[in-house]
């Protein structure tokens, strides 16, 4: 993987080339105030907490991928905080609804759907738009992924669904850097003093806050473009969605999620493999695994004792959780040697 400095002075930027595809992680100038709604800049009613630049969002909430489902996201678009529907209620890109794209990326990268909703609004004001906005780049390249310079963007990364996936991958990469090195390459990490681009010192209290600053390295209190708007929209959108935070215990976990017991995995015939790092939600299978449109694909892996479901991963940009590697394995009772896929498999165990 190669990193190149990005020639922008208004944001922290890095251009990452993964498997021959150029992705822009955090290259975006500060947002124009005109894209935000008036309500975005008002403290939501009933919020008693004061903004703390060092503690924008708790990590448990930031990574609560199961706290909001696709139905709630669709309802949020239909009845947004701005007293009107968002165009994202009916918008599709590459045949994928906006709500499905967010739900899928949230499960794939184990991030709260709120994170994607907030960045969609804070970056280009998409949630607040009643009609498809112009120029189209505001939607089709909302997070600037694949845009090497103004007006020149890779067509294979066009579309809200692909941009959402790219954002999820970028945020997951930041969390992985923090887990492995204590901080991102830009220096944001828990209990690590850093300076933002608006000249303020911050010491993130947790991984979620550090990931937000790694994406938008500004405090910008009272306006758009930084940590404050993320905090304010988190409160506003949480109220709208009636989201009170993670319930704990891994309730409703999908295949590949961490678990403590079978009951913490939320699907039919679920099993918690407690012998794997932090536990692994799985299920016995005879060739096929449970599937849902808003959840990561699972693959039936062949073991001597039978088949078990594991989450599919992309070897070019794996998003496996800590303790797991992206390994190619054969399907249980598959149709030959080519019937195989890459799945997240424990680091310290040989392939089945």
List for the chain the helix, strand, coil content (%; round to 5): 30, 20, 55
- Whether the CB-CB separation of 146 and 125 falls below 8 Å is answered with no
> Hey, what are 330's tokens?
């054969």
pLDDT band at 3 (very low <50, low <70, confident <90, very high): very low
Domain locations along the chain: 2-241, 262-346
Write the CA distances from 100 to 200, 269, 293, integer angstroms. 37, 25, 7
Q: Which residues pair with 345 in a beta bridge?
A: 325
Q: Is the pTM of this model over 0.75?
A: no
> Hey, what are 133's tokens?
């906005």
pLDDT band at 2 (very low <50, low <70, confident <90, very high): very low
- The predicted model gives 227-233 an average pLDDT of 97
Beta-carbon contacts of residue 225 (< 8 Å; ≥ 6 apart) = 30, 31, 122, 216, 218
Q: Return the pLDDT at 349.
A: 67
- The predicted model gives 106-115 an average pLDDT of 94
Q: Is the pLDDT of residue 27 over 60?
A: no
Beta-carbon contacts of residue 55 (< 8 Å; ≥ 6 apart) = 204, 205, 206, 209
Rg of the chain over all Cα atoms, to the nearest angstrom: 20
Element (H, E) at 139: helix 137-140
Q: Is the pLDDT of residue 98 over 50?
A: yes
- Whether the CB-CB separation of 179 and 322 falls below 8 Å is answered with yes
Place of tokens 């907490």: 49
Q: Return the pLDDT at 56.
A: 94
Q: Which residues pair with 328 in a beta bridge?
A: 342
pLDDT in tens, 245-284: 765 433 467 899 888 777 677 777 788 888 899 889 899 9
How many Cα atoms within 13 Å fall on the side-chain side of residue 314?
11
> Cα–Cα distance between 85 and 90 in angstroms, integer?
10
């Amino acid at each position: 993987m190669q990193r190149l400095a990005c020639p922008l002075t208004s944001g922290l930027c890095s251009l990452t080339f993964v498997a021959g595809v150029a992705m822009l992680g955090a290259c975006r100038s500060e947002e124009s105030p005109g894209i935000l709604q008036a309500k975005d800049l008002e403290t939501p009613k009933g919020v008693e907490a004061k903004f703390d630049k060092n503690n924008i969002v708790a990590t448990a909430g930031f990574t609560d991928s199961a706290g909001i489902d696709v139905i709630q996201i669709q309802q949020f678009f239909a009845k947004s905080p701005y007293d009107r529907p968002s165009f994202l209620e009916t918008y599709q890109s590459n045949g994928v609804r906006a709500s499905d794209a967010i739900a899928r990326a949230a499960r794939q990268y184990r991030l709260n759907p709120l994170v994607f909703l907030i960045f969609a609004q804070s970056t280009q004001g998409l949630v607040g738009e009643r009609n498809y906005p112009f120029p189209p780049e505001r939607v089709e390249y909302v997070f600037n992924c694949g845009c090497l310079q103004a007006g020149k963007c890779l067509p294979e990364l066009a579309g809200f669904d692909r941009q959402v996936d790219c954002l999820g991958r970028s945020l997951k990469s930041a969390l992985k850097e923090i887990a492995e090195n204590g901080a991102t390459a830009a220096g944001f990490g828990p209990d690590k003093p850093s300076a933002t681009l608006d000249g303020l010192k911050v010491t993130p209290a947790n991984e979620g806050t550090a990931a937000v600053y790694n994406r938008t390295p500004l405090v910008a209190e009272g306006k758009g473009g930084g940590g404050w708007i993320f905090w304010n929209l988190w409160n506003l959108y949480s109220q709208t969605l009636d989201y009170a935070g993670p319930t704990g215990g891994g309730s409703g976990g999908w295949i590949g999620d961490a678990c403590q017991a079978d009951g913490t995995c939320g699907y039919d015939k679920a099993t918690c493999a407690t012998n794997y790092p932090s536990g692994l939600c799985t299920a016995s299978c005879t060739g096929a695994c449970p599937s849902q449109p808003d959840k990561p694909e699972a693959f039936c892996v062949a073991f001597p004792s039978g088949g078990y479901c594991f989450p599919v991963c992309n070897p070019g940009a794996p998003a496996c959780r800590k303790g797991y590697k992206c390994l190619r394995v054969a399907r249980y009772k598959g149709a030959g040697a080519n019937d195989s896929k890459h799945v997240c498999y424990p680091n310290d165990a040989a392939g089945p």
